[in-house]
Structure 1
Amino acid sequence: MAEPGRVRSIRHSVRLGDARDIYLGTIVSPNTRRGYGIALAALVEAFGADSDVGLLDPDRVDGWFRFRWGGASAQTFNVRLASLRAACTYWAERCWLVGDPLQRLRPRPVPADRSRAVTRAEVTAILGLDVPLRERVLWTMLYETAARAEELLELDVPDLDTANRCARVTRKGGTVDVVAWQTGTARLLPRMLAGRRTGPVFVTDRKAKPHVAVADTDPGSGRGRLSYRRAAELFEDNTAGFTGGPFTLHQLRHSRLTHAAEDGASTPMLMTLSGHTSVRSLAKYARPGKDALLAWQANTDPAARRRR
């Protein structure tokens, strides 16, 4: 029986490591779970897996977060903060938190970026580089489908419908959707698969380590699923020599959507191509590039029309 006058706390004491694992277990999408896991792993490492999640101090969390990601880009800073905020919201709903350990932190303003799409000529040059077949397939598929790199790297061979040039992917947020490719991918993909019917579509050059999950291993060769980090490194290394390079894998998606907009694709078609559910989210991708602007100006110049 509680002592008279004493207020009994309704907060449940939960280990930070357990709180992290329980929250990540609620996220369906492997890509989202992996992304959120980066920030949460760093939090657990800094404050200890055995510490009480409810005792996270706002001042200490603020100092740690700014030290850990203060030098990162505004986008990375905001992504890591959003990951922690989503977890804290979940923990608070279960009475594991009383206050807000992130109350001192605010998202940073992200400067407008009007130059992320590469030109069609640059895309042609990138896709024509003398690189291993796996990279040629991934880069071509990324551009032709306008999919996120994480979505394609999570593909397994049974997800593919090569006859109809499409595949089932898990979009950001866990929605199952279909992406479609064109002739470039259709010509290269069968050569890379070489008759494989199971396992990840994109695999590493070497056999997977023993701790790699069976679902992320090709049963025939024993090679593991290609990681986003390695795929990104290879792309940036191979595009470092371009003017404005190195480029990122995301720029292939960005460029495809921009080029489709320049070619007159409707907003509904662009949303289907990209997997966006918000026109506002799509807007930054559907902005015509410099080459398209110059061509439009030349074609609509009254003086040029008089000379014809």
Structure 2
Amino acid sequence: MVGPSALALFSSRRDHWRRDRRGRYLDSVQTRTTRDSYAETLARLTALAGERPAAALVPEDYAAVMDRWDAAAAATWNRHLSALTSFTAWAGQQEILATNPGRRLERRKPARRGDRSIPRARLDKLFTDDRHGLRERVLWRTLYETAARAEELLSLKPEDLDLEFRRGRVTSKGGATQYVHWATGTDRLLPRLLRGRTSGPLFLADRRAPAAGPLVPVVADVCPVTGRGRLSYPRAEYLFKQATAALDPHGTGWDLHQLRHSALQHLAVDGRTAPELQAKSRHLHLGSLGRYVQLGEQTSAQVAADADPAARRRTR
């Protein structure tokens, strides 16, 4: 029996009263941040598969999808591969796929990295540079002050914000509803970004959302005033790398996750306890904080300066 086309899997219209078109598989992904992350991968598979039956998908199709991220970091590769793996499992349960087209693909082992934190002085320079757009400066500062994951903040809506208590309601990595808290810098900028908006995405894309085709977003992901969609993670990451290339000693720019890493490490340097850091990061287990709170380059430099005999003589 020939299965439904790949296009139909991702863009079939469900209820006649709904204006958005969403895939059956993506509808089955309960966690919103995961669904948003997987959507890009599935859209590429849809485009490559065309009208061929989903049952006809072969390893070459999956390899062609992953070619798009062949030069990306291991974490990015693994994220897109997870989307294909999850879809394959779902399609197998639905008896759409009889074989695994991803059987030749393997997860990549991330390279071990040194100190991932960004020096505070460079963050201050970045956050106060008016050459960058308001949207970017709000996102970057909020990521740092909340120590949240980028996917969580990009999923925010105006109604998720509690401006009085400087907090926002997010869906965490495990699907739980939690609050993240920001400080004065974010508090001063958020009203300017909102401009009276009460619905739609908090962080808007540069262009209007498509009104037809398989990439039409859900209603909640479109601003009812401007028609613009939600800012995507890949676009936000690209803009951050471009903006930080001049500040990065290696010239490649930093990634958004380094803002979370920097926030937690800076708090650790300031003497915050492990339970306090866990409350801020919302990690389920204290052991998960290890890679974030190892005191890195700045601490090493300070130890060297404090132990410098010449420096001690100069201060007398």
TM-score, normalised relative to structure 2 = 0.79
**Partner of residue 260, structure 1:** 267
The equivalent position to 1:289 in structure 2, one of 296, 303, 307, is 296
1:226 aligns with 2:228: no
Separation (CA, whole Å) in 1 of partners of 2:41 and 2:223: 29
Aligned residues of 1:271 and 1:282 also touching (Cα < 8 A) = yes
**Partner of residue 8, structure 1:** none
Tell me by how many angstroms 1:186 deviates.
1.5
**Partner of residue 142, structure 2:** 141
1:197 aligns with 2:198: yes
Separation (CA, whole Å) in 1 of partners of 2:64 and 2:136: 38
Alignment-mate amino acid for residue 85 of structure 2: R
Tell me by how many angstroms 1:51 deviates.
1.6
**Partner of residue 174, structure 1:** 175
Greater C-alpha radius of gyration? 1
Separation (CA, whole Å) in 2 of partners of 1:127 and 1:173: 30
Question: Cα 1:261–1:23, aligned 2, differ >3 Å: closer, same or farther?
Answer: same
The equivalent position to 2:37 in structure 1, one of 35, 38, 46, is 35
Question: Cα 1:61–1:213, aligned 2, differ >3 Å: closer, same or farther?
Answer: closer
The equivalent position to 1:15 in structure 2, one of 5, 8, 19, is 5
Corresponding residue pairs, total: 295
> Does the residue aligned with 1:284 lie in a helix, a strand or coil?
helix
> Does the residue aligned with 1:247 lie in a helix, a strand or coil?
coil
Alignment-mate amino acid for residue 301 of structure 2: L
Which is worse superposed, 173-182 or 93-102? 93-102
1:56 aligns with 2:61: no
Tell me by how many angstroms 1:65 deviates.
5.3
Which is worse superposed, 241-250 or 80-89? 241-250
1:25 aligns with 2:30: no
Separation (CA, whole Å) in 1 of partners of 2:76 and 2:124: 29
Question: Cα 1:235–1:17, aligned 2, differ >3 Å: closer, same or farther?
Answer: same
Question: Cα 1:103–1:213, aligned 2, differ >3 Å: closer, same or farther?
Answer: closer
Alignment-mate amino acid for residue 198 of structure 2: R
Structure 2 stretches lacking a partner, 5+ long: 11-22
> Does the residue aligned with 2:292 lie in a helix, a strand or coil?
coil
Which is worse superposed, 18-27 or 207-216? 207-216
Separation (CA, whole Å) in 2 of partners of 1:62 and 1:231: 26
Residue deviations 1:118-164 (CA, integer Å, cap 9, x gap): 11111111111123333322221111001122221221111111111
Tell me by how many angstroms 1:78 deviates.
1.9
Structure 1 vs Structure 2 CA RMSD: 3.1
Question: Cα 1:115–1:43, aligned 2, differ >3 Å: closer, same or farther?
Answer: same
**Partner of residue 91, structure 1:** 91
**Partner of residue 126, structure 1:** 126
Aligned residues of 2:3 and 2:53 also touching (Cα < 8 A) = no
Question: Cα 1:138–1:14, aligned 2, differ >3 Å: closer, same or farther?
Answer: same
Structure 1 stretches lacking a partner, 5+ long: 1-10
Aligned residues of 2:148 and 2:260 also touching (Cα < 8 A) = yes
1:158 aligns with 2:162: no
Aligned residues of 1:117 and 1:258 also touching (Cα < 8 A) = yes
Separation (CA, whole Å) in 1 of partners of 2:103 and 2:118: 39
Tell me by how many angstroms 1:213 deviates.
4.8
Separation (CA, whole Å) in 2 of partners of 1:164 and 1:40: 38
Separation (CA, whole Å) in 1 of partners of 2:163 and 2:67: 48
Identity %, equivalent residues: 41
Aligned residues of 1:32 and 1:173 also touching (Cα < 8 A) = no
